[in-house]
Amino acid sequence: MKLYQVDAFTDEVFSGNPAAVIPLEEWLDADAMQNIAAENNLSETAYFVKEPDGTFTIRWFTPKTEVDICGHATLASAHVLFEHLDFDGEKVVFQSKSGELTVEKREDIYWMNFPATPPEPIPVPKLLPDAIGTIPIFTGVNRDMIVLLHDEETVQTLKPDYGLLERMEVRGIVVTAEGNDCDFVSRYFAPSMGIYEDPVTGSAHTLLAPFWGKRLGKSSLNARQISKRGGNIQCNQKGDRVEIGGSAVTYMIGEINI
């Protein structure tokens, strides 16, 4: 099998979020896909199969488990189709456990169209202040937990207690604040999924974009995930959908033998 390793949400290697992409003629069994993802040891490995109607069914695996949605590995998969597999359509249509997801390439940006998942406010969980070392301004949940902090510096210098974060009953925890040089910044932690800190998390912006759009009164937002690798994300609110845009670059092409 051919394997592509793509850095997503960046236009240069060694930054953004690396994803493995494995095009398949037919599905492997789930155990094999999980073992490959564990062997790759990246935050996500994406697999897709072309369907007779020209769409693609996509699945995503962390080193630990299969997930229902992933942004950066979807962007990376579209990049592989456009740049390496001679896809000549205007829009890639992926079928997934989270419904239909589309990706268009406009100039050098891949625009993913995902369902918006605005957060519902919740009381601050009892363990959270100890887990992140500060008291948040706001907490909310919709698949992930969103944690609003006072400023970009607090987000940047955060040193979470991963053991406590793992006890939160959510997929991941995204900490965020208004940005100094962009609309907002964030970091994303998902220890329960086998990912201590994800470099750039496209799917978290289905939560962040409606939250910050409402808070700032804007429908188009520029964001940065301020992990060690870092990445730039553009967001457009489209009713109950969110367009999430970013660049991608191929780091490696290889073969898997099992």
Longest CA span, the chain? 52
Q: For each of the domains in the chain, give its residue range(s) and CATH number, in order of start.
A: 2-114+244-255 (3.10.310.10), 120-239 (3.10.310.10)
Average pLDDT for the chain: 96
pLDDT(194) > 90: no
pLDDT score of 65: 94
Report d(CA 219, CA 214) in Å as an integer.
Answer: 8
Instruction: Give me the residue label for tokens 């208004």.
Output: 178
Report d(CA 231, CA 9) in Å as an integer.
Answer: 5
pLDDT score of 123: 97
**Cβ–Cβ under 8 Å, residues 141 and 119:** yes
Report d(CA 95, CA 58) in Å as an integer.
Answer: 6
At a CB cut-off of 8 Å and minimum separation 6, what does 72 contact? Answer: 8, 9, 16, 17, 19, 43, 44, 200, 201, 202, 231, 246
- Tens of pLDDT, residue by residue over 133-166, are 999 999 999 989 999 999 999 999 999 999 999 9
- Tens of pLDDT, residue by residue over 202-217, are 999 999 999 999 999 9
* Torsion (CA) 217, 219, 220, 221 in degrees, nearest 10: 50
Q: Three-state DSSP class for 258?
A: coil
SS3 helix, strand, coil % of the chain, rounded to 5?
Answer: 20, 40, 40
pLDDT(247) > 90: yes
pLDDT score of 121: 98
**Cβ–Cβ under 8 Å, residues 248 and 46:** no
pLDDT score of 193: 86
- Tens of pLDDT, residue by residue over 14-35, are 999 999 999 999 999 999 999 9
In 3D, which of 165, 228, 230 has the Cα closest to residue 191? 165
Residues annotated as catalytic are: 44
**How many C-beta atoms surround the C-beta of residue 14 within 10 A?**
10
- Tens of pLDDT, residue by residue over 88-131, are 998 999 999 999 999 999 988 999 999 999 999 999 999 999 99
